[in-house]
Protein backbone atom coordinates (compact mmCIF):
# COMPACT_ATOMS: atom_id res chain seq x y z
CA UNK A 1 0.00 0.00 0.00
CA UNK A 2 1.39 3.42 -0.92
CA UNK A 3 1.51 5.96 1.91
CA UNK A 4 2.07 9.68 2.27
CA UNK A 5 2.25 10.35 6.01
CA UNK A 6 1.84 13.91 7.26
CA UNK A 7 5.08 15.69 8.17
CA UNK A 8 4.29 15.92 11.90
CA UNK A 9 4.10 12.11 12.27
CA UNK A 10 6.37 10.81 9.48
CA UNK A 11 9.67 10.91 11.36
CA UNK A 12 8.43 9.94 14.80
CA UNK A 13 8.97 6.37 16.13
CA UNK A 14 5.25 5.54 15.85
CA UNK A 15 5.05 7.17 12.41
CA UNK A 16 7.91 5.03 11.12
CA UNK A 17 6.43 1.88 12.64
CA UNK A 18 2.96 2.58 11.24
CA UNK A 19 4.36 3.41 7.80
CA UNK A 20 6.30 0.13 7.65
CA UNK A 21 3.16 -1.83 8.63
CA UNK A 22 0.91 -0.02 6.15
CA UNK A 23 3.33 -0.74 3.32
CA UNK A 24 3.03 -4.51 3.92
CA UNK A 25 -0.74 -4.48 3.34
CA UNK A 26 -1.64 -5.29 -0.27
CA UNK A 27 -5.34 -4.52 0.29
CA UNK A 28 -6.39 -8.01 -0.82
CA UNK A 29 -9.21 -8.25 1.76
CA UNK A 30 -8.65 -11.93 2.68
CA UNK A 31 -8.73 -10.82 6.32
CA UNK A 32 -12.30 -9.52 6.17
CA UNK A 33 -13.65 -13.07 5.73
CA UNK A 34 -12.43 -14.13 9.17
CA UNK A 35 -13.22 -10.91 11.06
CA UNK A 36 -16.02 -11.41 13.61
CA UNK A 37 -17.19 -7.78 13.56
CA UNK A 38 -17.30 -7.68 9.76
CA UNK A 39 -19.29 -10.92 9.77
CA UNK A 40 -21.81 -9.44 12.22
CA UNK A 41 -22.09 -5.88 10.95
CA UNK A 42 -21.31 -6.28 7.25
CA UNK A 43 -19.62 -2.87 6.98
CA UNK A 44 -16.15 -2.66 5.36
CA UNK A 45 -15.15 -0.13 8.05
CA UNK A 46 -15.91 -2.77 10.72
CA UNK A 47 -13.38 -5.13 9.19
CA UNK A 48 -9.57 -5.04 9.27
CA UNK A 49 -9.04 -3.64 5.77
CA UNK A 50 -11.45 -0.76 6.42
CA UNK A 51 -9.86 -0.02 9.80
CA UNK A 52 -6.40 -0.04 8.24
CA UNK A 53 -7.69 2.47 5.71
CA UNK A 54 -9.12 4.70 8.47
CA UNK A 55 -5.78 4.66 10.32
CA UNK A 56 -3.92 5.45 7.09
CA UNK A 57 -6.19 8.45 6.47
CA UNK A 58 -5.56 9.68 10.01
CA UNK A 59 -1.77 9.32 9.62
CA UNK A 60 -1.96 11.22 6.33
CA UNK A 61 -3.49 14.17 8.13
CA UNK A 62 -7.16 13.78 7.22
CA UNK A 63 -9.80 14.72 9.83
CA UNK A 64 -10.34 12.32 12.73
CA UNK A 65 -13.95 12.07 13.89
CA UNK A 66 -16.20 10.22 16.33
CA UNK A 67 -16.96 7.85 13.44
CA UNK A 68 -13.26 6.95 13.13
CA UNK A 69 -13.25 6.13 16.83
CA UNK A 70 -16.49 4.13 16.64
CA UNK A 71 -15.05 1.72 14.05
CA UNK A 72 -11.75 1.34 15.90
CA UNK A 73 -13.60 0.84 19.22
CA UNK A 74 -15.66 -1.95 17.68
CA UNK A 75 -12.51 -3.97 16.92
CA UNK A 76 -12.08 -6.83 19.39
CA UNK A 77 -8.29 -6.92 18.94
CA UNK A 78 -8.84 -10.65 18.47
CA UNK A 79 -6.14 -10.79 15.74
CA UNK A 80 -8.02 -13.37 13.70
CA UNK A 81 -7.17 -11.12 10.73
CA UNK A 82 -3.45 -11.53 11.47
CA UNK A 83 -3.79 -15.32 11.32
CA UNK A 84 -5.45 -15.03 7.90
CA UNK A 85 -3.29 -12.30 6.34
CA UNK A 86 -0.92 -13.75 3.70
CA UNK A 87 1.34 -10.66 3.91
CA UNK A 88 2.02 -10.84 7.66
CA UNK A 89 0.53 -7.39 8.38
CA UNK A 90 1.00 -6.54 12.06
CA UNK A 91 -2.53 -5.24 12.40
CA UNK A 92 -2.71 -5.09 16.21
CA UNK A 93 0.40 -2.89 16.42
CA UNK A 94 -1.12 -0.54 13.85
CA UNK A 95 -4.39 -0.51 15.76
CA UNK A 96 -2.58 0.45 18.99
CA UNK A 97 -1.03 3.41 17.18
CA UNK A 98 -4.38 4.34 15.62
CA UNK A 99 -6.22 4.17 18.93
CA UNK A 100 -3.55 6.24 20.68
CA UNK A 101 -3.88 8.96 18.04
CA UNK A 102 -7.69 8.96 18.17
CA UNK A 103 -7.56 9.31 21.97
CA UNK A 104 -5.33 12.37 21.54
CA UNK A 105 -7.29 13.99 18.71
CA UNK A 106 -10.88 13.22 19.82
CA UNK A 107 -10.76 12.87 23.62
CA UNK A 108 -13.62 10.97 25.21
CA UNK A 109 -16.14 12.84 27.31
CA UNK A 110 -19.14 12.06 29.55
CA UNK A 111 -20.13 8.44 30.24
CA UNK A 112 -17.52 6.99 27.85
CA UNK A 113 -14.76 8.78 29.76
CA UNK A 114 -16.04 7.94 33.26
CA UNK A 115 -16.73 4.28 32.44
CA UNK A 116 -13.17 3.81 31.20
CA UNK A 117 -11.76 5.64 34.19
CA UNK A 118 -13.74 3.39 36.57
CA UNK A 119 -12.60 0.23 34.76
CA UNK A 120 -8.94 1.19 34.67
CA UNK A 121 -9.02 2.24 38.33
CA UNK A 122 -10.74 -0.89 39.69
CA UNK A 123 -9.68 -3.81 37.50
CA UNK A 124 -5.86 -3.60 37.64
CA UNK A 125 -5.77 -3.24 41.43
CA UNK A 126 -5.97 -6.68 43.02
CA UNK A 127 -6.31 -5.15 46.50
CA UNK A 128 -9.46 -3.31 45.39
CA UNK A 129 -10.92 -5.83 42.96
CA UNK A 130 -10.71 -8.98 45.13
CA UNK A 131 -12.78 -7.59 48.06
CA UNK A 132 -15.15 -5.87 45.60
CA UNK A 133 -15.74 -9.22 43.83
CA UNK A 134 -16.29 -10.99 47.18
CA UNK A 135 -18.83 -8.33 48.21
CA UNK A 136 -20.48 -8.53 44.79
CA UNK A 137 -20.99 -12.30 45.22
CA UNK A 138 -22.73 -11.73 48.57
CA UNK A 139 -25.10 -9.16 47.09
CA UNK A 140 -25.49 -10.91 43.73
CA UNK A 141 -29.29 -11.41 44.14
CA UNK A 142 -29.71 -7.62 44.40
CA UNK A 143 -27.52 -6.80 41.42
CA UNK A 144 -28.60 -6.28 37.79
CA UNK A 145 -28.36 -9.67 36.05
CA UNK A 146 -25.79 -8.38 33.48
CA UNK A 147 -23.40 -7.52 36.33
CA UNK A 148 -24.24 -10.53 38.54
CA UNK A 149 -23.46 -12.91 35.66
CA UNK A 150 -19.89 -11.56 35.58
CA UNK A 151 -19.27 -13.02 39.06
CA UNK A 152 -19.64 -16.81 38.67
CA UNK A 153 -19.00 -19.21 41.54
CA UNK A 154 -15.64 -20.86 40.94
CA UNK A 155 -13.70 -23.45 42.98
CA UNK A 156 -11.93 -22.08 46.07
CA UNK A 157 -8.16 -22.00 46.04
CA UNK A 158 -6.77 -25.50 46.61
CA UNK A 159 -3.41 -26.51 48.01
CA UNK A 160 -0.24 -24.79 46.74
CA UNK A 161 2.75 -27.14 47.16
CA UNK A 162 5.64 -25.91 49.30
CA UNK A 163 8.32 -24.67 46.87
CA UNK A 164 11.08 -27.18 47.59
CA UNK A 165 12.05 -28.22 44.05
CA UNK A 166 15.42 -27.30 42.59
CA UNK A 167 13.73 -26.01 39.42
CA UNK A 168 11.72 -22.82 39.89
CA UNK A 169 9.34 -20.73 37.83
CA UNK A 170 7.45 -17.52 38.58
CA UNK A 171 3.66 -17.23 38.21
CA UNK A 172 2.03 -13.95 37.22
CA UNK A 173 -0.55 -13.37 39.96
CA UNK A 174 -2.49 -10.88 37.83
CA UNK A 175 -5.33 -8.60 38.85
CA UNK A 176 -8.89 -9.98 38.49
CA UNK A 177 -8.10 -13.70 38.31
CA UNK A 178 -7.25 -14.23 42.02
CA UNK A 179 -10.61 -12.67 43.00
CA UNK A 180 -12.68 -14.58 40.43
CA UNK A 181 -10.96 -17.96 40.10
CA UNK A 182 -8.30 -18.31 42.82
CA UNK A 183 -7.58 -21.98 42.11
CA UNK A 184 -6.15 -21.51 38.61
CA UNK A 185 -2.61 -20.56 39.68
CA UNK A 186 -2.71 -23.04 42.60
CA UNK A 187 -3.72 -25.82 40.17
CA UNK A 188 -0.80 -24.79 37.94
CA UNK A 189 1.52 -25.04 40.94
CA UNK A 190 0.24 -28.58 41.62
CA UNK A 191 0.71 -29.66 37.98
CA UNK A 192 4.22 -28.20 37.78
CA UNK A 193 5.13 -29.71 41.14
CA UNK A 194 4.27 -33.11 39.64
CA UNK A 195 6.80 -32.28 36.91
CA UNK A 196 9.49 -31.39 39.50
CA UNK A 197 9.11 -27.60 39.26
CA UNK A 198 8.19 -25.22 42.09
CA UNK A 199 6.00 -22.28 41.17
CA UNK A 200 6.23 -19.05 43.16
CA UNK A 201 4.49 -15.67 42.98
CA UNK A 202 6.13 -12.31 43.62
CA UNK A 203 3.92 -10.34 46.03
CA UNK A 204 4.59 -6.96 44.47
CA UNK A 205 3.75 -8.04 40.91
CA UNK A 206 0.21 -7.36 39.72
CA UNK A 207 -1.72 -6.55 36.57
CA UNK A 208 0.23 -7.28 33.38
CA UNK A 209 -0.72 -3.83 32.01
CA UNK A 210 -3.14 -4.97 29.29
CA UNK A 211 -6.18 -3.42 30.99
CA UNK A 212 -4.75 0.10 31.03
CA UNK A 213 -3.12 -0.24 27.60
CA UNK A 214 -6.51 -1.16 26.13
CA UNK A 215 -8.29 1.73 27.86
CA UNK A 216 -6.40 4.65 26.27
CA UNK A 217 -3.70 4.56 28.97
CA UNK A 218 -0.50 3.18 27.42
CA UNK A 219 1.62 5.09 29.98
CA UNK A 220 -0.24 3.32 32.83
CA UNK A 221 0.30 -0.04 31.10
CA UNK A 222 4.04 0.67 30.91
CA UNK A 223 4.04 1.49 34.65
CA UNK A 224 2.46 -1.91 35.34
CA UNK A 225 5.15 -3.60 33.24
CA UNK A 226 8.00 -1.82 35.07
CA UNK A 227 6.53 -2.76 38.47
CA UNK A 228 6.28 -6.42 37.46
CA UNK A 229 9.80 -6.52 36.04
CA UNK A 230 11.16 -5.00 39.26
CA UNK A 231 9.24 -7.59 41.35
CA UNK A 232 10.40 -10.55 39.24
CA UNK A 233 13.98 -9.53 38.60
CA UNK A 234 15.52 -10.86 41.86
CA UNK A 235 13.83 -14.24 41.24
CA UNK A 236 15.11 -14.28 37.65
CA UNK A 237 18.62 -13.52 38.87
CA UNK A 238 18.25 -16.36 41.38
CA UNK A 239 17.62 -18.78 38.49
CA UNK A 240 13.86 -18.85 37.82
CA UNK A 241 13.46 -20.50 34.42
CA UNK A 242 10.27 -18.83 33.19
CA UNK A 243 7.41 -16.44 33.91
CA UNK A 244 4.33 -18.68 33.74
CA UNK A 245 1.11 -16.99 32.71
CA UNK A 246 -2.23 -18.78 33.13
CA UNK A 247 -4.40 -16.16 31.41
CA UNK A 248 -3.60 -16.05 27.70
CA UNK A 249 -4.68 -12.40 27.51
CA UNK A 250 -1.92 -11.54 29.98
CA UNK A 251 0.57 -13.88 28.30
CA UNK A 252 0.42 -11.90 25.07
CA UNK A 253 1.07 -8.72 27.02
CA UNK A 254 4.03 -10.00 29.07
CA UNK A 255 5.66 -11.55 25.97
CA UNK A 256 5.43 -8.07 24.42
CA UNK A 257 7.19 -6.20 27.28
CA UNK A 258 10.30 -5.72 25.13
CA UNK A 259 8.29 -3.83 22.54
CA UNK A 260 6.25 -1.96 25.15
CA UNK A 261 9.39 -0.54 26.79
CA UNK A 262 11.59 -0.31 23.71
CA UNK A 263 11.88 3.48 24.02
CA UNK A 264 12.84 3.37 27.71
CA UNK A 265 16.64 2.99 27.92
CA UNK A 266 16.52 2.22 31.66
CA UNK A 267 14.12 -0.73 31.34
CA UNK A 268 14.51 -1.90 27.73
CA UNK A 269 17.01 -4.73 28.28
CA UNK A 270 15.26 -6.16 31.35
CA UNK A 271 11.91 -5.95 29.53
CA UNK A 272 13.36 -7.91 26.59
CA UNK A 273 14.63 -10.59 28.97
CA UNK A 274 11.32 -10.88 30.84
CA UNK A 275 9.39 -11.02 27.55
CA UNK A 276 11.66 -13.85 26.36
CA UNK A 277 11.07 -15.76 29.63
CA UNK A 278 7.26 -15.45 29.48
CA UNK A 279 5.42 -18.69 28.73
CA UNK A 280 1.78 -19.62 28.51
CA UNK A 281 1.17 -22.45 30.99
CA UNK A 282 0.42 -24.82 28.07
CA UNK A 283 3.94 -24.27 26.68
CA UNK A 284 5.44 -25.20 30.05
CA UNK A 285 3.26 -28.27 30.58
CA UNK A 286 3.79 -29.66 27.07
CA UNK A 287 7.56 -29.23 27.50
CA UNK A 288 7.30 -31.53 30.56
CA UNK A 289 5.11 -34.13 28.88
CA UNK A 290 7.68 -36.91 29.26
CA UNK A 291 7.01 -36.76 33.03
CA UNK A 292 3.37 -35.76 33.06
CA UNK A 293 1.76 -37.79 30.28
CA UNK A 294 2.51 -41.24 31.78
CA UNK A 295 0.90 -40.08 35.04
CA UNK A 296 -2.14 -38.81 33.18
CA UNK A 297 -2.37 -42.07 31.23
CA UNK A 298 -2.50 -43.98 34.52
CA UNK A 299 -5.64 -42.01 35.48
CA UNK A 300 -7.52 -43.67 32.58
CA UNK A 301 -10.46 -42.15 30.66
CA UNK A 302 -12.10 -39.16 32.35
CA UNK A 303 -15.48 -40.32 31.01
CA UNK A 304 -16.49 -36.74 30.22
CA UNK A 305 -17.14 -35.01 26.92
CA UNK A 306 -15.46 -31.62 26.77
CA UNK A 307 -15.50 -28.65 24.36
CA UNK A 308 -12.39 -26.47 24.34
CA UNK A 309 -12.63 -22.78 23.54
CA UNK A 310 -9.24 -21.55 22.41
CA UNK A 311 -9.00 -17.84 23.30
CA UNK A 312 -7.97 -15.45 20.52
CA UNK A 313 -4.94 -14.43 22.57
CA UNK A 314 -3.83 -18.09 22.62
CA UNK A 315 -4.47 -19.08 19.00
CA UNK A 316 -3.99 -15.76 17.16
CA UNK A 317 -1.94 -13.69 19.63
CA UNK A 318 0.61 -16.31 20.75
CA UNK A 319 -0.04 -18.70 17.81
CA UNK A 320 -0.36 -21.66 20.20
CA UNK A 321 -2.67 -24.14 18.50
CA UNK A 322 -3.51 -27.74 19.34
CA UNK A 323 -1.34 -27.89 22.48
CA UNK A 324 -4.08 -27.65 25.13
CA UNK A 325 -6.22 -30.01 23.07
CA UNK A 326 -3.37 -32.58 23.06
CA UNK A 327 -3.03 -32.28 26.85
CA UNK A 328 -6.77 -32.64 27.45
CA UNK A 329 -6.93 -35.77 25.29
CA UNK A 330 -3.91 -37.14 27.17
CA UNK A 331 -5.82 -36.43 30.39
CA UNK A 332 -8.61 -38.73 29.19
CA UNK A 333 -11.24 -36.23 28.01
CA UNK A 334 -13.24 -36.80 24.86
CA UNK A 335 -13.07 -33.54 22.87
CA UNK A 336 -16.21 -32.52 20.97
CA UNK A 337 -16.10 -30.58 17.66
CA UNK A 338 -16.30 -26.77 17.76
CA UNK A 339 -17.26 -25.14 14.44
CA UNK A 340 -15.69 -21.74 13.60
CA UNK A 341 -13.24 -22.18 16.45
CA UNK A 342 -11.19 -19.23 15.13
CA UNK A 343 -13.91 -16.75 16.11
CA UNK A 344 -13.87 -14.61 19.26
CA UNK A 345 -16.35 -15.29 22.10
CA UNK A 346 -16.88 -11.53 22.58
CA UNK A 347 -15.10 -11.20 25.91
CA UNK A 348 -11.99 -9.38 24.65
CA UNK A 349 -10.86 -7.73 27.89
CA UNK A 350 -13.32 -4.96 28.74
CA UNK A 351 -15.10 -5.23 25.37
CA UNK A 352 -18.06 -7.09 26.90
CA UNK A 353 -18.68 -4.07 29.15
CA UNK A 354 -18.01 -1.39 26.54
CA UNK A 355 -19.69 -3.04 23.52
CA UNK A 356 -22.36 -5.25 25.15
CA UNK A 357 -24.52 -5.69 22.06
CA UNK A 358 -21.83 -7.04 19.71
CA UNK A 359 -20.26 -8.98 22.57
CA UNK A 360 -23.61 -10.62 23.43
CA UNK A 361 -24.17 -11.77 19.83
CA UNK A 362 -20.67 -13.24 19.66
CA UNK A 363 -21.27 -15.02 22.98
CA UNK A 364 -24.51 -16.59 21.71
CA UNK A 365 -22.78 -17.76 18.52
CA UNK A 366 -19.82 -19.15 20.45
CA UNK A 367 -21.96 -21.07 22.94
CA UNK A 368 -23.99 -22.56 20.11
CA UNK A 369 -20.73 -23.70 18.47
CA UNK A 370 -19.34 -25.08 21.74
CA UNK A 371 -22.55 -26.99 22.45
CA UNK A 372 -22.58 -28.68 19.02
CA UNK A 373 -21.22 -31.98 20.36
CA UNK A 374 -23.26 -31.88 23.62
CA UNK A 375 -20.25 -31.62 25.97
CA UNK A 376 -20.66 -31.93 29.73
CA UNK A 377 -18.04 -29.31 30.39
CA UNK A 378 -16.39 -26.38 28.57
CA UNK A 379 -12.73 -25.53 29.08
CA UNK A 380 -10.75 -22.47 28.13
CA UNK A 381 -7.43 -20.74 28.85
CA UNK A 382 -8.21 -17.16 29.80
CA UNK A 383 -10.09 -15.75 32.79
CA UNK A 384 -11.98 -13.19 30.67
CA UNK A 385 -13.30 -15.85 28.26
CA UNK A 386 -14.06 -18.15 31.18
CA UNK A 387 -16.33 -15.71 33.05
CA UNK A 388 -17.89 -14.45 29.82
CA UNK A 389 -18.77 -17.97 28.63
CA UNK A 390 -20.01 -18.96 32.09
CA UNK A 391 -22.31 -15.91 32.15
CA UNK A 392 -24.35 -17.49 29.33
CA UNK A 393 -23.85 -21.21 29.98
CA UNK A 394 -25.51 -23.71 32.30
CA UNK A 395 -22.63 -26.11 31.67
CA UNK A 396 -19.60 -25.53 33.91
CA UNK A 397 -16.75 -23.58 32.32
CA UNK A 398 -13.28 -24.24 33.76
CA UNK A 399 -9.65 -23.44 33.08
CA UNK A 400 -8.10 -26.51 31.44
CA UNK A 401 -5.18 -26.58 33.90
CA UNK A 402 -7.58 -27.11 36.83
CA UNK A 403 -8.98 -30.16 35.03
CA UNK A 404 -5.47 -31.45 34.42
CA UNK A 405 -4.60 -30.98 38.10
CA UNK A 406 -7.73 -32.94 39.09
CA UNK A 407 -6.74 -35.78 36.74
CA UNK A 408 -3.24 -35.88 38.22
CA UNK A 409 -4.82 -36.18 41.65
S1 LIG B 1 -5.27 -9.85 4.37
FE2 LIG B 1 -3.44 -8.66 5.00
S3 LIG B 1 -2.68 -7.73 3.11
FE4 LIG B 1 -4.79 -8.39 2.70
S5 LIG B 1 -6.05 -6.57 3.18
FE6 LIG B 1 -5.99 -7.82 5.03
S7 LIG B 1 -4.26 -6.96 6.22
FE8 LIG B 1 -4.02 -6.22 4.08
S1 LIG C 1 -8.64 -7.84 15.40
FE2 LIG C 1 -10.48 -9.13 15.15
S3 LIG C 1 -12.21 -7.70 15.21
FE4 LIG C 1 -10.35 -6.49 14.87
S5 LIG C 1 -10.19 -6.27 12.66
FE6 LIG C 1 -8.96 -8.07 13.21
S7 LIG C 1 -10.35 -9.81 13.01
FE8 LIG C 1 -11.63 -7.96 13.06
User: Tens digits of per-residue pLDDT, 177-215?
Assistant: 989 999 999 999 999 999 999 999 998 999 999 999 999
How confident is residue 352, by pLDDT bands cut at 50, 70 and 90?
very high
pLDDT at 403: 97
Ligand 1 centroid, distance to 317 Cα (angstroms): 17
In whole angstroms, what is the distance from residue 317 CA to residue 123 CA? 22
pLDDT one-digit tens code per residue, 310-331: 999 999 999 999 999 999 999 9
Contacts of 62 (CB under 8 A, 6+ apart): none
What's the pTM? 0.94
Our answer on whether the CB atom of 36 is closer than 6 Å to any ligand 2 atom is: yes
What are the Cα distances from residue 187, in Å, to 99, 208, 305, 405, 409?
A: 37, 20, 21, 6, 11
Our answer on whether the CB atom of 85 is closer than 6 Å to any ligand 2 atom is: no
In whole angstroms, what is the distance from residue 106 CA to residue 328 CA? 47
Average pLDDT (164-177) is: 94
Ligand 2 centroid, distance to 24 Cα (angstroms): 17
How confident is residue 143, by pLDDT bands cut at 50, 70 and 90?
confident
The count of C-alpha atoms lying within 13 angstroms of the C-alpha of 360, restricted to the half-sphere facing its C-beta, is 7
Q: Is the pLDDT of residue 43 over 90?
A: yes
> Under CATH, to which class is 7-105 assigned?
mainly alpha
Our answer on whether the CB atom of 78 is closer than 6 Å to any ligand 2 atom is: yes
How confident is residue 148, by pLDDT bands cut at 50, 70 and 90?
confident
Our answer on whether the CB atom of 233 is closer than 6 Å to any ligand 1 atom is: no
What dotted CATH number matches 296-408? 3.40.50.1860
Average pLDDT (21-43) is: 96
How confident is residue 128, by pLDDT bands cut at 50, 70 and 90?
confident
Domain boundaries defined on the chain: 7-105, 296-408
Q: Which ligand is nearest to the CA of 92?
A: 2
Pocket test for ligand 2, best of 55, 72, 77 (most atoms within 8 A of CB): 77
Q: Is the pLDDT of residue 126 over 80?
A: yes
Ligand 1 centroid, distance to 281 Cα (angstroms): 31
Q: Is the pLDDT of residue 49 over 90?
A: yes
Ligand 1: which atom is nearest the Cα of residue 29?
5
pLDDT at 127: 84
Amino acid sequence: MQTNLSTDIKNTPRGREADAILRTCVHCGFCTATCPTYQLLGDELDGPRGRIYLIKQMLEGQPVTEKTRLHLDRCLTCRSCESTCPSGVKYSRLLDIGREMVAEKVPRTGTAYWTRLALKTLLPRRGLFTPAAALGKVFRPLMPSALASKLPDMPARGAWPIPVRARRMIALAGCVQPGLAPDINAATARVLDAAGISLVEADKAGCCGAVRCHLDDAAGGREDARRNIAAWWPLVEAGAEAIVVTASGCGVQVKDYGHLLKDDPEWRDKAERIGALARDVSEVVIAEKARLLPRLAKAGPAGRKLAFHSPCTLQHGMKIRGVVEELLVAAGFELTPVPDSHLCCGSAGTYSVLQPEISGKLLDNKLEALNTGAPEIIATANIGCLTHLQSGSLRPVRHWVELLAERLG
